[in-house]
A and B are shown apart, each in its own frame.
Chain A
Amino acid sequence: MDFVLFFLTAAIALAGAIAMLVARNAIHSALFLLLNFGAIAVLFLLLQSPFLFTIQLSIYAGAIMVLFLFVVMLLGAEQVEAAQDKLPWQQPLALVMGAGLLVIAVITAVRGGSNDAPPGGEAAEAFGDPASLGELLFTEYLLPFQITGIILLVAVIGVVVLNQQRTQAQSEETPGERPSSSVQP
């Protein structure tokens, strides 16, 4: 039963991801990504982690998705413009290398026996349970937890600082000037 469910959800997740890449309309891409997020959430559920399921839905499918849609509308970038590719050899090369990486990943997964439990032993009964997560967060992972707060604070500063209006007179160059965008050797 779990196995069938897994394959079904994994297939939906993959289909969503691929459709996101090939969709011409950026809004459609975003919606396919939403499908992908939802499928991933179910995968978390299959891994006995209801908390991650909730987070995946509320943060990724909720908040981050909204952000993506805002960006799309902000730029008015619903339609993909046929831009000229400055480095046309890059795409096939990336495809080949990505395929190579995939092969390596599959071999690692198959030969590495990634179905085995890590050497620490089988996961505890309450593993992934929100309450035991809370316990871990406040005992073993107390420091990482606090640092996360500080990282989020820095993120807030970043949002505010980089969005502050600055008058053109203060800037060093006129914005019309385009910098060289290619990587020079």
Chain B
Amino acid sequence: MDSIQIPPIDFRLIAPLLVVTTWAMVLLLVDVFAIPANRKKLTGYLAIAGLVVAGLVAIPLWDVSGSTFSNMVVLDRYSLILTWIFLIIGALTITMALDYLPRHGIEQGEFYPLIMFAVAGMILMAQGTDLIVLFLGVELLSITLYILTGFAYPRLTSEEAAMKYLVLGAFAAGFFIYGIALTYGAVGTTNLALIAERLADPAAETNQLLLLAGASLILITFAFKVALVPFHMWTPDVYEGSPTPVAAFMSVGTKGASFAALLRILVTALPALEPFWLPVLGMLAALTMIIGNLGALSQTNVKRMLAYSSVGHAGYILLSIMVVSERGAQAFLFYTLAYTLTNLGAFAVVIALEQRSNATWSLDDFTGLYKRQPLLALAMAVFMFSLAGVPPTAGFMAKFYVFTTAYEGGLGWLVLIGVLTSALAVFFYLRVVIRMFMHEPQGELEPTLDRGLSADIAIAGGLTLLFGIVPAPIIFLVERSLVAAGG
């Protein structure tokens, strides 16, 4: 046989991914060999350093674009901005966990490399232009999260959460791989750009029915991953049971990465199928916004409330995804960034109030918080306002951006539902604020604010306010993002 040529590889294009994965592997060994059991925080700091390095490596790539590995991955500004968002998510999660883990007696050095592997999976989902790579990205992220969800064993709720997530996630993975198989049978390729090409080519004998079946199965997978109604049942239970930093990570990380991949699939591969998926996604978005927010309304457990709120927010993000245009992608990026900062901040406050002995995450814990910890209460108020979409916060700008984009994109009725459910959502977000400011403190609950948490809340809160008041730089950034086809 003749010699086989491995196609040329441009390592620059996957530099952040490469840095994160190799750093995580080295860190794993460093953690086992060099870091004593009582100094595991050091591993955390090293992990943050790795994420920062990856972020810095990505900066010179702003003007670089292209695809490599036989068009399996692409680097464009869209994926680059997402990469930064994911790195921020990873770093903030680790900061939250630094003191949380030892405080709850579940500290193990592997936590930090695992977060890095999850971030690597997310970056892969942002960069992948082939269904196979997207699948592997989803799996890398999911398998890591199964482990992290069960990290607090032998606490039963944690084991229960991991089990539920694993079983349902395995089904979703099965759907995904079956969808890929059917899609391949229909169009003869798994490359996103090639799929669109084959669909547009009248000479190619694509199999419409098989493609529809395949596309539906793929949609179901992502609907499960981002928790769209009616695929959201697992969310409250899993968020409640998993260690709180992991829940925070999942609520923003899985959602951001899955939506990123979904957007790329819809924009690059399946624009021709828009008459099919637009009404389907429209129904899902409407249901998600309504049921997510209604579900949050009745919760007295703040962690569950945030879980339902994340379901509702998935509906809003879906609105931006459905507008298959550059504007839609920009609105998606802005919303993801705003939602990331806000939600991570809110979870950090929840962690501050979480007691090891009695973790109920009850709304009562927030009663009179202003009297006890005015700054913490103020920060929580900012996050709640931002989640509700009240100015002058990033959440308001993001919602505004998404709603105008969706309206211009001809999704008027969905925008109407979005606005109505947002108004509804204000009620339960404000309930927390009123509890904090209007009531006298009761009970003995003393918030634990370590350095990592304080930094987290300060960064998240500051940026949430900053992007709400001065959104121009971020809009400038996202407006220059282009979703490259990578064909």
Contacts and interface: CB of A to CB of B under 8 A. Distances in A.
Q: State yes or no: do A and B touch (Cβ within 8 Å).
A: yes
Contact of B110 (A111, A140, A157): A157
A148 interface: yes
Contacts of A81: none
Q: Which of A113, A121, A144, A162 has the most CB of B within 10 A?
A: A144
Contacts of B72: 140-141, 143-144
Interface string B288-312: 0000000100100000100000000
B160 A185 contact: no
A164 B359 CA distance: 24
A152 to B, nearest CB: 9
A118 interface: yes
Given A144-B136, A154-B140, A154-B143, A172 B155 contact: yes
Given A121-B188, A166-B154, A179-B156, A143 B140 contact: no
A151 B6 contact: no
A172 B152 contact: yes
A167 B112 CA distance: 22
A118 B184 contact: yes
Given A118-B188, A151-B143, A173 B4 contact: no
Given A108-B210, A157-B147, A118 B187 contact: yes
Nearest to B153: A162
Nearest to A152: B143
Contacts of A155: 143
Interface in A111-130: 111-114, 116-121
The size bracket of the interface on A is 35 or more
Nearest to A185: B295
B132 interface: yes
Given A118-B186, A118-B188, A147-B136, A112 B209 contact: yes
Contacts of B154: 166, 168, 171, 175
Classify the interface of chain B: helix, strand, loop or mixed. helix
B209 A139 contact: no
A141 B4 CA distance: 13
Contacts of A157: 28, 110, 113-114, 147
A12 to B, nearest CB: 22
Contacts of B104: 172
Contacts of B4: 135, 138-139
Given A161-B147, A172-B155, A142 B69 contact: yes
A181 interface: yes
A139 B5 contact: yes
A172 B241 CA distance: 12
Interface residues of B, number: 68
A167 to B, nearest CB: 9
Nearest to A109: B210
B475 to A, nearest CB: 33
A85 interface: no
Given A139-B7, A147-B133, A154-B143, A179 B207 contact: no
B375 interface: no
B334 interface: no
Contacts of A169: 105
Interface of A: 104, 108, 111-114, 116-121, 131, 135, 138-144, 147-148, 150-151, 153-155, 157-158, 160-162, 164, 166, 168-173, 175, 177-179, 181, 183-185
Given A150-B117, A150-B120, A183-B236, 5 more contacts: A140-B7, A157-B113, A172-B105, A172-B106, A183-B237
